[in-house]
């Protein structure tokens, strides 16, 4: 009985912190319509900053708190609003998704550079060693402080949002910004206030949860996944439901931790700690997934102006010819590149294939996947586990296995859009990372899986040059497939679904079948690339397929240009070129910078000849996007094979 009480208190305390994080998320979402994926990363940076000031500089608790929560957090909120968010007004959700995911990767990159993970950091709890006895259970002063702060935050938010004009204006601006202005409200002010509040709450959550445990970038960043789950329970709108969700999650976690040591329920799947302990790391993800799947179906969207310029798709003969040229050039390149360069370029080709799978899914059909490397991992593990000696059959099996998982992920996608879909795929990526790939039958807890390079059709792929040409041929074949899809009936269905799901339904198009097909196709392509990834690396581990890799890949594909084959190639080749230390910085900043160009870097390349030909002063031709823009005939653009 006493145990139950103790576990409950622990659970309520951690649930309170999740609640603070989640309510910050809700405040920014309801007022700006932007779901801040970087919310957790802000909390993480705040926690590290708190350590820096309090422990490393030795300033003490109060100055550290004031500096982090009173100076850094509000200023950072203002910075996000002014620099990152204001230019996004009126842009589609996908753009803000790229920007906030980019911010996450950027902050993660900066933090792991400034505070390297090699050092152990710890911050003492508030009023350490002060403890109270409540009904025979020992409660620390820190826990009491967390509870008091949470109650204050809840009451304060309630007051601000529902009893003050600024709070009402925050909600009014989301509802109808133009009318809010006509009432005399200033949307910039309102949005600044929202981002400051969000940033402060994220930082507060970071500062409250960090003490008493050793610092870990990833743990602190993903702390917010718990927040996401809680916020989704309130449909990103209701603060009371968000608090309920956070408390459910916190107590559920505490009971799992508490009772898993007592009752192991057998050996468990992983072998050591029992079933309950294994559930622990995936509890928030399962919760998130369950809540998302239980959400009511979003209304089908009526036609929206995509804003992207429609790029011309080359004809089949042109595609084939260019594909052949590409392979020939790759063969020539083998003579010029050193073995290391060749290996890097080969990695680039494999990543480019993963990005091709994103082109079909994101670029053509407007779905979102932040778990593409989970499919890659599934492909690699199938290949390595069952066909380690390298066989063509392994490639087929890897493709099919990943496609099956893709179809599985498509199930929630049938009903979800935009951020909810993105979150569902994040949940799937974390699920894969924490349970699937840790399974002894898959990668066996960080152990590596080794591959042999096969001899195909009499060509020994043990040779780096031969493998490079083989990969180039695979990429070219996949590109031909992708462009064939784009030109064919499926491509038309995807484009139609992207433009207006509502119109598709009225025309009798089967959305369910189309979505499952495109997810399976995309995941299958990623799985195929995964098998090749294993062959190239000869050994892979679960670390190669974590969420962060998927996020990086998604952003790089966006930077390269998610709507074109060229974009995928640019994005893929860029990955091995980027220094691993600064990768996060480059990718995060690049994604933020390029987020407003719908066709990414490739789109800029294709725009160049036209821009040179056009007389100055005419400006960019547009198709869609800004409805008030002058109507000029769009210049034809070309897409490469």
Partner 1 sequence: MTAPGIELVGVRAAYGRIDVLRGVDLVVPAGSVFALLGPNGAGKSTTLRVISGRMRPRAGCVHIAGVHVNGTPPARLARAGLCSVPEGRGIFPNLTVSDNLRMATYRGGLSFSDVRDTAFERFPALSDRRTQLAGTLSGGEQQMLALARALTTNPAVLLLDEISMGLAPLIVAELYEVVARLAREGITILIVEQFARVALPVADFAGIMTQGRIQVVGEPADVEAALSEAYLGAV
Q: Which residues bind partner 1 (CB under 8 A)?
A: 162, 165, 168-169, 171-172, 174-176, 178-186, 628-631
Comparison of 593 and 618: residue with beta carbon closer to partner 1: 618
Nearest-angstrom CA–CA distance, 201 and 288? 21
Comparison of 167 and 308: residue with beta carbon closer to partner 1: 167
Residue 155 to residues 25, 43, 92, 558, 594: CA-CA distances in angstroms? 17, 21, 33, 41, 40
Q: How far is the CB of 520 from partner 1 (least distance, A)?
A: 37
Q: How far is the CB of 632 from partner 1 (least distance, A)?
A: 9
Task: Tell me if 569 sits within 8 A of 329, measured CB to CB.
Answer: no
Q: How far is the CB of 626 from partner 1 (least distance, A)?
A: 8
Within a 10 A sphere around the Cβ of 248, how many other Cβ atoms?
Answer: 17
Comparison of 86 and 385: residue with beta carbon closer to partner 1: 86
Instruction: Copy the structure tokens of residue 364.
Output: 């053509």
Q: How far is the CB of 184 from partner 1 (least distance, A)?
A: 3
Nearest-angstrom CA–CA distance, 473 and 465? 12
Comparison of 581 and 626: residue with beta carbon closer to partner 1: 626
Q: How far is the CB of 192 from partner 1 (least distance, A)?
A: 14
Residue 179 to residues 90, 160, 164, 356: CA-CA distances in angstroms? 15, 21, 18, 43
Q: How far is the CB of 182 from partner 1 (least distance, A)?
A: 5
Comparison of 505 and 629: residue with beta carbon closer to partner 1: 629
Instruction: Copy the structure tokens of residue 569.
Output: 């190639």
Nearest-angstrom CA–CA distance, 53 and 30? 33
Comparison of 165 and 262: residue with beta carbon closer to partner 1: 165
Q: Which has the closest alpha carbon to 571: 419, 347, 375, 369?
A: 347
Comparison of 181 and 325: residue with beta carbon closer to partner 1: 181
- How many angstroms separate the most distant Cα atoms in the chain? 82
Comparison of 309 and 515: residue with beta carbon closer to partner 1: 309
Cβ contacts of 350 within 8 Å, gap of 6 or more? 471, 529, 532, 533, 536, 572
**Helices and strands in the chain, H and E counts:** 26, 6
Q: Which has the closest alpha carbon to 432: 265, 562, 317, 281?
A: 281
DSSP string covering 263-289: ---SS-SSSSS-HHHHHGGGHHHHHHH
Q: How far is the CB of 417 from partner 1 (least distance, A)?
A: 19
Q: How far is the CB of 586 from partner 1 (least distance, A)?
A: 37
Q: How far is the CB of 183 from partner 1 (least distance, A)?
A: 5
Angle at 531 between CA 526 and CA 534, to 5 degrees: 120
Nearest-angstrom CA–CA distance, 98 and 38? 11
Q: Is the dihedral of CA 369, 405, 482, 372 positive or negative?
A: positive
Q: How far is the CB of 91 from partner 1 (least distance, A)?
A: 19
Q: How far is the CB of 629 from partner 1 (least distance, A)?
A: 5
Comparison of 111 and 172: residue with beta carbon closer to partner 1: 172
Place of tokens 């809700």: 26
Comparison of 188 and 267: residue with beta carbon closer to partner 1: 188
Task: Tell me if 247 sits within 8 A of 233, measured CB to CB.
Answer: no
Comparison of 30 and 425: residue with beta carbon closer to partner 1: 30
């Amino acid at each position: 009985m006493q145990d139950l009480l103790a576990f409950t208190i622990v659970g309520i305390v951690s649930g309170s912190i999740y609640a603070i994080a989640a309510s910050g998320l809700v405040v920014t979402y309801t007022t700006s319509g932007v779901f801040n994926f970087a919310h957790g990363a802000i909390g993480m940076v705040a926690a590290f900053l708190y350590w820096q000031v309090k422990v490393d500089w030795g300033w003490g608790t109060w100055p550290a708190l004031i500096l982090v929560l009173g100076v850094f957090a509000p200023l950072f909120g203002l910075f996000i609003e002014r620099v990152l968010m204001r230019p996004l007004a009126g842009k589609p959700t996908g753009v803000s998704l790229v920007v906030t995911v980019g911010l996450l990767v950027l902050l993660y990159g900066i933090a792991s550079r400034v505070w390297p993970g090699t050092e152990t950091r710890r911050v003492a709890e508030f009023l350490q060693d002060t403890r109270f006895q409540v009904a025979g259970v020992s409660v620390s002063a820190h826990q009491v402080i967390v509870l008091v702060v949470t109650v204050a935050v809840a009451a304060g938010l309630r007051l601000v949002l529902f009893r003050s004009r600024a709070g009402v204006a925050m909600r009014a601006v989301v509802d109808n910004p133009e009318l809010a202005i006509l009432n005399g409200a200033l949307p910039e002010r309102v949005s600044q206030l929202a981002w400051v509040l969000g940033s402060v709450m994220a930082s507060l959550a970071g500062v409250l949860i960090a003490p008493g445990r050793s610092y870990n970038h990833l743990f602190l960043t993903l702390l917010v996944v718990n927040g996401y789950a809680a916020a989704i329970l309130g449909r990103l709108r209701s603060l009371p439901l968000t608090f309920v969700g956070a408390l459910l999650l916190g107590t559920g976690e505490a009971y799992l931790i508490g009772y898993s040591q007592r009752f192991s329920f057998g050996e468990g799947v992983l072998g050591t700690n029992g079933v309950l302990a294994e559930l622990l790391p995936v509890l928030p993800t399962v919760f998130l997934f369950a809540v998302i799947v239980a959400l009511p179906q979003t209304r089908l969207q009526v036609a929206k102006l995509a804003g992207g310029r429609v790029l011309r798709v080359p004809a089949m003969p042109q595609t084939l010819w260019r594909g052949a040229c590409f392979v020939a050039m790759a063969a020539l390149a083998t003579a010029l590149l050193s073995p290391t360069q060749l290996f890097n370029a080969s990695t680039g080709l494999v990543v480019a294939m993963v990005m091709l799978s994103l082109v079909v899914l994101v670029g053509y059909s407007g779905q979102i996947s932040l778990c593409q490397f989970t499919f890659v991992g599934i492909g690699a593990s199938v290949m390595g586990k069952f066909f380690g000696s390298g066989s063509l059959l392994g490639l087929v099996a890897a493709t099919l296995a990943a496609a099956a998982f893709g179809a599985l992920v498509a199930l929630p996608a049938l009903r979800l859009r935009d951020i909810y879909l993105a979150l569902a795929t994040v949940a799937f990526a974390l699920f894969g990372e924490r349970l699937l790939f840790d399974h002894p039958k898959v990668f066996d807890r960080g152990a590596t899986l080794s591959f042999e390079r096969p001899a195909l059709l009499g060509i020994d792929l043990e040779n780096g040059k031969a493998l490079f040409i083989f990969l180039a041929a695979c990429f070219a074949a996949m590109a031909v497939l992708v462009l064939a899809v784009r030109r064919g009936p499926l491509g038309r269905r995807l484009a139609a679904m992207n433009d207006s799901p509502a119109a598709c339904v009225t025309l009798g198009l089967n959305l369910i079948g189309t979505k499952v097909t495109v997810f399976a196709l995309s995941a299958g392509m990623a799985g195929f690339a995964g098998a090749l990834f294993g062959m190239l690396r000869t050994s892979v581990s679960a670390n190669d397929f974590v969420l962060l890799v998927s996020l990086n890949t998604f952003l790089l594909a966006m930077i390269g240009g998610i709507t074109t084959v060229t974009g995928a190639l640019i994005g893929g080749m860029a990955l091995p070129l980027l220094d691993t230390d600064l990768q996060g910085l480059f990718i995060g900043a690049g994604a933020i910078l390029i987020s407003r160009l719908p066709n990414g870097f490739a789109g800029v390349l294709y725009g160049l000849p036209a821009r040179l030909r056009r007389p100055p002063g005419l400006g960019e031709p547009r198709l869609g996007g800004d409805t008030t823009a002058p109507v000029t005939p769009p210049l034809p653009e070309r897409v490469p094979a």
